[in-house]
A and B are shown apart, each in its own frame.
Chain A
Amino acid sequence: QVQLQQWGAGLLKPSETLSLTCAVQGGSFTAYGWTWIRQPPGKGLEWISEIYYTGSTTYSPSLKSRVTMSVDTSKKQFSLQLRSVTAADTAVYYCARALRGLSARMDHWGQGTLVTVST
């Protein structure tokens, strides 16, 4: 059974760097893409980025200048860093497994991490 377990700091000050990690339990790590999605309180979902085990990444244009994803295949983990955060980055951040091609979808999600940016 596939499970995604995520963790990271939940309270940041403006200008700090958000750092989250997601560990994959069960299933293949190399056959899928690994993504981050966020959801501001009371609002909709925003796709942030995707990475493959090779390290190949795709970022949302709106966040590309501040985002870095990385992957550790040996630990079956992937990470998100978002630099220079502001209050607008306050959100629940989710990691998820992604498939491409004709069956493209995000079929397994982490439990979510609320990240609050406040002075």
Chain B
Amino acid sequence: DIQLTQSPSFLAASVGDRVTITCRASQAISSFLAWYQQRPGNAPKLLIFGASTLQSGVPSRFSGSGSGTEFTLTISSLQPEDFATYYCQQLNSYPRTFGQGTKLEIK
């Protein structure tokens, strides 16, 4: 199985901040990486796929980059609704593994 490691696991930030979350894969996965946002009590919501393609309807303050084994999710200017947990997922091979999550909290 491909292991995904996210860093940091917890992040405290303020409204308006720029934040970056990193996802590292245990082996190369090309650009087969997606990012999801999950608010408490809700199903995950797709933000980005193909490492950098923004899902329709997702605000442009979200962006993704990377290929191979290292990927980043950046939120350019945090909004109150962005405080949530973020997961990366690899779709290069089965099983489709997830990172352990990054919880973004209000400072």
* A binding-site residues for B, Cβ under 8 Å: 35, 44-47, 50, 58-62, 94, 98, 100, 102-107, 109-112
CB-based contact B50/A44 at 8 Å: no
Most buried by B among A44, A100, A110, A112: A44
Q: Give the number of residues in B that approach A within 8 Å (Cβ atoms).
A: 24
Docked complex: B25-61 residues within 8 A CB-CB of A? 31-32, 34, 36, 43-46, 49-50, 53, 55
* Chain A positions within 8 Å of B44 at CB level: 45, 94, 106, 109
CB-based contact B53/A103 at 8 Å: yes
**Nearest neighbor of A58 in chain B, beta-carbon distance:** B94
Instruction: Determine which of B1, B31, B46, B94 lies in contact with A107 in the assembled complex, contact meaning CB atoms within 8 Å.
Output: B46
A33 to chain B, nearest CB (A): 10
Interface of B is mostly: loop
CB-based contact B55/A106 at 8 Å: no
Given contacts A44-B98, A50-B94, A102-B31, 14 further A-B contacts (CB under 8 A): A46-B98, A47-B95, A47-B96, A47-B98, A59-B95, A103-B49, A104-B32, A104-B34, A104-B50, A105-B34, A105-B50, A106-B34, A106-B44, A109-B45
CB-based contact A104/B49 at 8 Å: yes
**Nearest neighbor of A104 in chain B, beta-carbon distance:** B91
CB-based contact A109/B43 at 8 Å: yes
Which 8 pairs between the two chains have the least Cβ-Cβ distance?
A104-B91, A105-B49, A109-B43, A47-B96, A45-B98, A60-B95, A105-B34, A44-B101
* Chain A positions within 8 Å of B99 at CB level: 44
CB-based contact A61/B1 at 8 Å: yes
CB-based contact B50/A111 at 8 Å: no
B83 an interface residue at 8 Å Cβ cutoff?
Answer: no
* Chain B positions within 8 Å of A45 at CB level: 36, 44, 87, 89, 98, 101
CB-based contact A105/B55 at 8 Å: yes
